[in-house]
Structure 1
C-alpha cells in the first residue's frame, strides 16, 4: 500500500473513501468497501473541469478500459493530525494509531493511504475549494464514498449532500453510506471507546468486527514476572494509543519473531500498575503460553480475545503467583488451548 502525506506524490487517478476512520470498525469498512470494487464506467465524454472520464475522449467503453489505460487507485483519504486534535491542541487517544491503521487498511485491499496534513490553510478551506482543489485537481478523483454524517470544509459547513452536488459538476459520483447500527445503536469509535473503558471487551470487539489490538515494541522491564516463573514481554505502545480497562485478558499474539508463517501464540496480558508490588507506572505485559525466547526489540501485535478479571492487589507474592497460574488456566480454557505435556 502506498502511503503519502504529500499531494505531490499521490498516485492518480483515484477512487476515494473520505473520513478519519479511527478504529477501522464495521461502519468504516462499509464506507471503504465501495472503492475496492472494480472501477465503474462513468458517463462518457468531457467533464466540466476538462478531465475526461469513462470512455476517454468520447470513445467506446472498450477504449476506456483498454490495456495501457490507468485504472483508479483505491484510496483512503484521512487527516493528520485529527481535526479535533488540531483545534484543541490536545493529543487525541486513538483506537488505531498509524501503524495499526495501515495494517487494517492494507488487509482490506486498499492501495493507497493519503494522510492529508490538517493545518490552518485546510481548516479555512471552503467546501467548494476542498472538492475542486484537493479531490478533483490533485487526486483526480473519479468516485467518492463517505459516511452519512461526514462533514467537511471551513467550520464543518459542508454536508454529504453538498459534496454530492459539488462533485456532480465535475462528473464525479458520490456514494453516501447510511450509518451502520447494531441492536439499534450506531456503530462508532466513541461507542467502542466506552465499551473498552468499561471492560466490555465483547461489545467492543463486536462493534469493531475483530479483536481490539495493541501493537508495540518489546522493551526491558523489571523482570518480576520471570522471578515469579511467568516471564513477560513488556510492550511500549504509541503514546496516543487508547488503552482498555485495567486488568487481565486472554490474548493471541503475532509477530515475525514468534510465528514467521503468520500464525499466533496464545497468551495472557495484564494492563495496570501492579499494585501488589507497589507499582506506580502503568505497564502492558504479556505472558506467552508454551513459548519462550528473546523478543527484545521485536514488534508484537496483541489481539484481545476475552476479559478475565480486573486489576487487584494481593496480600503476598505467593497469592499473586497462584492467581497468575489461575489466569493462565482460564486463558487456556477460553482460547481452547491444550497444555503441553
Structure 2
C-alpha cells in the first residue's frame, strides 16, 4: 500500500473514502467498502487527516485507537491501495467546502468516486455536510456514496463509543463494534523484572505514546509475534497499571505468556485483548499478589478458548 502525506505524490485517478477513520471500526469499513474492488483503473484510496482535527484545534494531544502504523496495517488488510494522510493545518482548515472539493478531490486526487459517512463534515468550521459534498462533487463529475450510520444493539458505532467501552473494561462491546479484538502493538523493553522473582516473568510492552489505553486492570489476551515461533497465538495475562503492591509510580503494560518461555527483548508483539478479568488492586504482600496472579492465569485459560 502506498502511503503519502503529499497530494502531489498521490497515485491517480482515485476512488476515495474520506474521513478520520480512527479505529477502522465496522462503521468505517462500511464507508471504505464502496471504493474497493473497482474497475482496476481507480486507486482505492483512504484520505485521512494528521494530526486529528480535534488535536489541531485544541492544541492537546489526542489518544488514538489506531496510531498511524496500526491504521495503515488495518487498511492494507482490507485491500486499500493508497493512504493519503493530509496534513491538517491552517491552510487546509481555511478551505470552504467548494474549495476543498476542487483543490483536494478534483485537482490533486482526480477522484472518480467518493464514499463518506452520513455524518461527515468538512470545510472551514465544519460548514459542509455530506449532502453538500454530494452536490458539489457530482457537479464536478464525481460519483458520491453516502453511507448510513452503522449501529450495534441500537447504539451508533463510533470511535467515541468504543473509547467509552474500553474505559469501562467492556471488551465485548468494544470488540463487537470494532469487528475484531482491540490490540496493543509495541516493543518489549527492559522492566524491573519483578515478575521473575515471583515465578511469573512478564514482557514489558512499550506502545506508541499516542495509543489509547483501556481501563487499568488485568486482561486475558492472545499474543502474536514472529519471536514466539508459533502459528497460533500464545495465551497470556496482561496488566495495565501502576503496580501499587510494589509502590509503582509509572503506568506499565506487562504481559505474562502462558506455557511459553524465552527472551523477547527488542521484539515486537501484538496483544489482542479478549476479556477484562479484574481491576488493578493493591495486595498486602507479594505472596498474596503471587496467589492472585496464579488465579488470574487460571481464569484466562478458562476464558480463552484456543483458536483452531
TM-score, length-scaled by structure 2: 0.97
| Aligned twin of 1:330 | 299
Which of residues 303, 318, 337 in structure 1 aligns to 2:287?
318
Q: Does 1:292 align with 2:285?
A: no
Hey, what's the Cα distance between the residues in 1 that align with 2:162 and 2:52? 18
Which of residues 232, 239, 242 in structure 2 aligns to 1:270?
239
Residues 131 and 114 (structure 1), Cα distance of their counterparts in 2 relative to 1, 3 Å cut: same
CA deviations 1:305-328 (Å, max 9, x no partner) are: 011111011111011111111111
Hey, what's the Cα distance between the residues in 2 that align with 1:38 and 1:238? 34
Q: Does 1:18 align with 2:18?
A: yes
Q: More deviation in 238-247 or 74-83?
A: 238-247
Segments of 5+ residues of structure 2 without an aligned counterpart are none
Q: Does 1:5 align with 2:5?
A: yes
* Moved beyond 4 Å, runs of 4+: none
Hey, what's the Cα distance between the residues in 2 that align with 1:260 and 1:195? 31
| Aligned twin of 2:217 | 247
Q: Does 1:129 align with 2:132?
A: no
TM-score, length-scaled by structure 1: 0.88
Hey, what's the Cα distance between the residues in 2 that align with 1:28 and 1:259? 33
Q: Does 1:114 align with 2:92?
A: no
Q: How much has 1:260 moved relative to structure 2?
A: 6.4
CA deviations 1:118-161 (Å, max 9, x no partner) are: 00000001111111111111011110000000000111111111
Q: How much has 1:336 moved relative to structure 2?
A: 2.8
CA RMSD of aligned residues (A): 1.3
Q: How much has 1:291 moved relative to structure 2?
A: 1.1
Contact 2:96 2:123 in 1 (8 A): yes
Hey, what's the Cα distance between the residues in 2 that align with 1:225 and 1:108? 38
Q: Does 1:221 align with 2:228?
A: no
| Aligned twin of 1:77 | 47
Contact 2:38 2:44 in 1 (8 A): no
Hey, what's the Cα distance between the residues in 1 that align with 2:10 and 2:229? 34
Highest CA radius of gyration, 1 or 2? 1
Q: More deviation in 280-289 or 292-301?
A: 292-301
Hey, what's the Cα distance between the residues in 2 that align with 1:113 and 1:82? 15
CA deviations 1:84-129 (Å, max 9, x no partner) are: 1001100001111111111111111111110000000000011111
| Aligned twin of 1:160 | 130
Which of residues 270, 274, 288 in structure 2 aligns to 1:301?
270
| Aligned twin of 2:38 | 38
